[in-house]
Structure 1
Amino acid sequence: MTTDLLTLSGVHTHIGAYHILHGVDLRVPRGQLTLLLGRNGAGKTTTLRTIMGLWRASAGRITLAGRDIGALDTPRIAGLGVAYVPENMGIFADLSVKENMLLAARSAQRLAQIDGDRLQWIFKLFPAVEKFWNHPAGKLSGGQKQMLAVARAIVEPRDLLIVDEPSKGLAPAIINNMIEAFGQLKASGVTILLVEQNFNFARRLGDTVAVMDNGRVVHAGAMKDLAEDEQLQRSLLGLAL
Structure 2
Amino acid sequence: MSAQNLLTLEGVHTHIGAYHILHGVDLNVPANQLTMLLGRNGAGKTTTLRTIMGLWHASQGRVTLAGRDITAAHTPDISRSGVAYVPENMGIFADLSVKENMLLAARGARSIDDIDTKRLEWIFDLFPAMKKFWNHPAGKLSGGQKQMLAVSRAIVEPRQLLLIDEPSKGLAPAIIQNMIAAFKALKEAQTTILLVEQNFNFARQLGDSVAVMDDGRVVHSGRMAELAEDETLQARLLGLSLKAHQ
User: How many angstroms apart in 1 are the aligned matches of 2:41 and 2:112?
Assistant: 40
Corresponding residue number in structure 2 for 1:150: 151
Corresponding residue number in structure 2 for 1:107: 108
Q: Measure how far apart 1:2 and its partner are.
A: 6.4
SS at 1:239's partner residue? Answer: coil
Residue 14 of structure 2 aligns to which amino acid in structure 1?
Answer: T
Corresponding residue number in structure 2 for 1:118: 119
CA deviation vs aligned residue, 1:191-231 (integer Å, no higher than 9, x gap): 00000000110000000000000000000000000000000
SS at 1:203's partner residue? Answer: helix
User: How many angstroms apart in 2 are the aligned matches of 1:94 and 1:240?
Assistant: 41
CA deviation vs aligned residue, 1:38-83 (integer Å, no higher than 9, x gap): 0000000000000000001000000000110001000000000100
Long gaps (5+) in structure 2:
none
Corresponding residue number in structure 2 for 1:223: 224
User: How many angstroms apart in 1 are the aligned matches of 2:181 and 2:160?
Assistant: 19
Corresponding residue number in structure 2 for 1:14: 15
User: How many angstroms apart in 2 are the aligned matches of 1:22 and 1:111?
Assistant: 44
SS at 2:102's partner residue? Answer: helix
Long gaps (5+) in structure 1:
none
Corresponding residue number in structure 2 for 1:182: 183
**Same amino acid, percent of matched pairs:** 78
SS at 1:57's partner residue? Answer: coil
Corresponding residue number in structure 1 for 2:27: 26
CA deviation vs aligned residue, 1:114-172 (integer Å, no higher than 9, x gap): 00000000000011110000000000000000000000000000010110000000000
Q: Measure how far apart 1:239 and its partner are.
A: 1.7
SS at 1:194's partner residue? Answer: strand
What are the residue-to-residue correspondences of 1:153-168 with 2, within 5 Å?
153-168=154-169
User: How many angstroms apart in 1 are the aligned matches of 2:120 and 2:22?
Assistant: 38
User: How many angstroms apart in 2 are the aligned matches of 1:53 and 1:159?
Assistant: 16
Corresponding residue number in structure 1 for 2:93: 92
Q: Measure how far apart 1:240 and its partner are.
A: 1.1
TM value normalised by structure 1: 0.99
User: How many angstroms apart in 2 are the aligned matches of 1:196 and 1:96?
Assistant: 28
User: How many angstroms apart in 1 are the aligned matches of 2:187 and 2:75?
Assistant: 24
In the TM superposition, structure 1's runs of 4+ consecutive aligned residues that sit over 6 Å from their partners are none
